[in-house]
Structure 1
Amino acid sequence: MSESAELKPQRRYRGESRSERQAARRAKLVEAGFRIFGTIGYRAATVRQVCAEAGLTERYFYESFARKDDLFVAVYELVMVRIGGAMQEAIAAADGSAEAKARALLGAYFGTIERDPGLGRILLIDVLSAGRDKDRIYRDAMAAFTDLVRNEARVLLPRGATSAVREEVVAAGIVGAIVHVAMRWVISNFDRPRNEVIEGLLSLLLAASR
């Protein structure tokens, strides 16, 4: 390709370039995937259903994604941004005590899941059967959650966890406990009140931080 061709400005349609229109279509597909996966599950969902929900043809689906697996990765990343942002905001607004930080983290995590059960299904259930990338995206999500605990809620780590390796192990253990309890809660269709779940985990986190 010549230099002049590379620098040629994109033709605009209704004030948007081709790349901007493609990005907008991709965002619509991700939001549609979020709704469809959260309602009927990843396994049952089809590309056709996602496209119908987005109001786009399948041609535009394959413009952005090679397969349904790739869409799920994008949806899962969206879910992680939403729940991670909620936790960060809650932790930042809490006072500096271990109890306040722990309550804020758990309240944001379980509150977000309860308000949007579809998000919880994608985050905790569907990811375990989401095709070839499930191991990577689940591992990345757990690592991001662990980093959040280490960086934003360090007060939850026991005072004896002085080495970086020990901190990571303890933080990973905290995250593992939260995720396991949340998974059981979602599978049970929220059979216990959120406050009971949070208080139970709170006692565990505070005991670990002492």
Structure 2
Amino acid sequence: MGIPLVTLSLLMPTMMFPTKSNRWLTNRTSTLQSWMVNLITKQLMLPINKSGHNWSIPLVSLMTFLLTLNLMGLLPYTFTPTTQLSMNLGLAIPMWLATLLTGLRNQPTMSLAHLLPEGTPLLLIPPLIMIETISLIIRPIALGVRITANLTAGHLLMQLTSTAIISSIPTPLILSAMTMMILLLLTLLELAVAIIQAMVFVLLLSLYLQDNIK
């Protein structure tokens, strides 16, 4: 229709997340949004002690941000920033480091105790400390690589399938319809992946936070 899709993608957050008003009765979209935010906050803070509930606003804001980017990237002819490893690591490393520094400041003994299981034989202490340290450092890298790999793989499959549809236009109608059905199923799958990956990213951060608070 000649409408630049970049304009639609820029307006999408405004249309998806309505602002609250001072009225007692708001519209259904605002009520649904508030219900979803409260439900997500409750699920994220459920396994975390009361001292870690101050993290609810940053974690929910991060999840909303990732969810918006993932869903906007499903629009045709748009770019998904969360398919870039540099951006995902830029989000994962500071948040992971903040949880680690919180534990080292509030309970340094308990935080360092995670590096060595209780009752470890004397000869196994050095290699276990090295393994646990490497495992601790790999956590933010795993966070960034997970969301990057899942979203990139889904977009590649959609691209290949859509290219196959264009190539199968001269072929019989049944083959084209079957390819189109596969693309529709891939789109639904990628929609679910975009939502799940944002939730998994923030949920793992909340679990890292739980390990570093009282």
TM-score, normalised to structure 1, is 0.24
Higher relative contact order (CA closer than 8 Å, sequence separation 6+): 2
TM-score, normalised to structure 2, is 0.24
Instruction: Flag the structure with larger Rg.
Output: 2
